[in-house]
Structure 1
Amino acid sequence: MTTTAGGVRASARVLARGDGRGGTVLPVLEGEGPLAVRRTRGSGAEARVMLVGAMSGPLGGDHFTVAAHAAAGARLRVGSAAATLALPGQDKTGARYDVRLTVDDDAELSWLPEQLISAGGSDLHVTTSVELAAGARLLLREEQVLGRAGEEPGRLTSRLTVRIDGRCVLDQELACGPGAPGGWDGPAGLAGHRAVGQLVVVRPGFATEPPAARVFEEGAAVLPLVGPAVLVTAVAPDALRLRRLLDGALASLD
């Protein structure tokens, strides 16, 4: 970790590998500063890791980077101990949070952090890049809450890209809050909702039997992507309703 006049630079890295006996080992489990990583009790072949926020943030000027790699044979689940709260800081250039996920053939990654809350006055740019081999499996959840109770949101820009076997199947960006392009909160955008989220589910079996595009419930939709992948998007008035929509849509895919 380094601290500069502009903010904190910190990173975390997780590498999981199959142990050859049906289990998963973690040869790399590194974190610094506000990005502490802890192994928790696993389940069967799955190893579980928790991101633990050791400091407030990200604040304006901070730059956090998290990388997780599930190598062949690994079953890895990554969560977080609490929501991430983007806060304003003395540096007005904004903060960055970069996530890099890699999943090899015969490997599975579940990326399931808690919500990201965009507090009033904050300015955060999040990028999530996912690289998957042809035989990889992925469950990725993103949830964003615009403002705390009774508070206007900060500026939040979030970009997600997913590649399978070198082919881009998803590249989307969402910008919300002060200074975002007009219409983000209108009928064609969030329509007044303050929680937005999505799931990306990649399973090799979807290549031959993709789920049908449909509205799951009011506020949620299921959309098959090119390749063995499905995108679930949802908007809701609050984080609790958002999680229920995403969990219900995921269960409907089984």
Structure 2
Amino acid sequence: MDGVTATGVRATARIVARRDGRGGTSLPVLEGEGPLALRRTRGSGAEARVMLVGAMSGPLGGDRFTVEAEVADGARLRVGSAAATMALPGQAKAEARYDVRLTVADGGELHWLPEQLISAKGSDLYVTTRVALAPTARLVLREEQVLGRAGEEPGRLTSRLAVRIAGRTVLDQELACGPGAPGGWDGPAALAGHRAVGQLVVVRPEFACEPVTARVLGERAALVPLAGPAALVTAVAPDALLLRRLLDKALATLG
């Protein structure tokens, strides 16, 4: 843990994945303490697997969490989390921040599949996820956000996702929900009363030659191609369980 200040906890976790020279993936850097504990789990084939374990509640007001993952050329990494992340109000009234930085080199592959982020009443969290990919990198990234616990109004949640491929921005979007967010976030043009929202970004070199076709996936999800070898699925649902089903089905559709 980087430390505890008068305005909250500061913590950083780092993962570096490299080819091990034997057909697998090694993790020369696996560092995480306090609220950002990391555990290596049993992998499959050439893929290394890491679980992010929340050792403390939060993020709370004023906390600053950062997670960084780097996948070197030819390495394969899958990252998940042991439980949902819960944004909670804290003694400090300041906004909490959760920053994710992901880098994948040529021939590398990253599956970033954390559990849901739940915005509890009274919380104020700004989440940023920035991804930098080399031209032949592969990515599956899932984000799921739940606005409030059962029967509870949500906190303030702002989420920004930016993806760059070969230095070119293919996606940069921000969603703000909850008290104090710009008007219309819960209206028919946005969440339409739903309390779970998610997206799936899939990057594969073959999409450059055969882009996906934009289409509606049922009543609550849509698939669109992005510039370059990438596709985006967005979905809304009344709860986290249905949201996960929608995103899993969408990923299966992409093959």
TM-score (norm 1): 0.99
Following superposition of structure 1 onto structure 2, how do residues 40-55 of structure 1 map, counting pairs within 5 Å?
Answer: 40-55=41-56
- Pairwise CA distance, 1:181: 0.1
Q: Per the alignment, in what secondary structure is the counterpart of residue 243 of structure 1?
A: helix
The CA deviation at 1:143 is 0.1
> Is the 8 Å Cα contact of residues 115 and 144 (structure 1) preserved in structure 2?
yes
Moved more, 237-246 or 18-27: 18-27
Superposition pairs for residues 1-254 of structure 1, below 5 Å?
A: 1=1, 2-254=3-255
Deviation of 1:22 (Å)? 1.6
Give the drift of 1:19: 1.4
Report the Cα offset of residue 90 of structure 1.
1.1
Q: Which runs of 5+ in 2 are unaligned?
A: none
3-state SS in 1 of match to 2:206: helix
- Aligned residue type for 1:247: D
Cα drift, residue 20 of structure 1: 2.3
Amino acid at match of 1:100: R
Q: Secondary structure at the match of 1:250?
A: helix
Which range is displaced more, 147-156 or 18-27?
A: 18-27
Deviation per CA, 1:98-130, whole angstroms, max 9, x where unpaired?
000000001000000000000000000000000
CA contact (8 A) 1:22 1:73 kept: no
How far apart, CA to CA, are the structure 1 residues paired with 2:72 and 2:199? Answer: 25
Tell me if the contact between 1:20 and 1:73 (Cα under 8 Å) persists in the aligned partners.
Answer: no
Distance 1:13 1:181 in 2: 34
The Cα of 1:94 is off from its aligned counterpart by: 1.3
Distance 1:59 1:246 in 2: 28
- Provide, for residues 30-73 of structure 1, a one-character-per-residue CA deviation record: whole Å limited to 9, x for no partner: 00110000000000110000000000000000000000011011
Give me the CA root mean square deviation.
0.5
The letter for the 1-side match of 2:249 is G
For 2:157, the aligned partner's letter is L
The one-letter code sitting in structure 2 at the alignment partner of 1:204 is: P
Cα distance, 1:93 vs. partner?
1.2
Q: Which amino acid aligns with 1:85?
A: M
Tell me the secondary structure at the aligned position of residue 247 of structure 2: helix
For residues 216 and 190 of structure 1, the distance between their equivalents in structure 2, rounded to whole angstroms, comes to: 16
SS of equivalent to 2:244: helix
- Separation in structure 1 between the aligned mates of residue 14 and residue 238 of structure 2, nearest angstrom: 34
Secondary structure, aligned partner of 1:205 = helix
Q: Distance in 1 between matches of 2:219 and 2:205?
A: 29
SS at match of 2:170: strand
Q: In the aligned structure 1, how far is the partner of 2:22 from the partner of 2:227?
A: 34
Partners in 2 of 1:251 and 1:199 — Cα distance?
A: 12
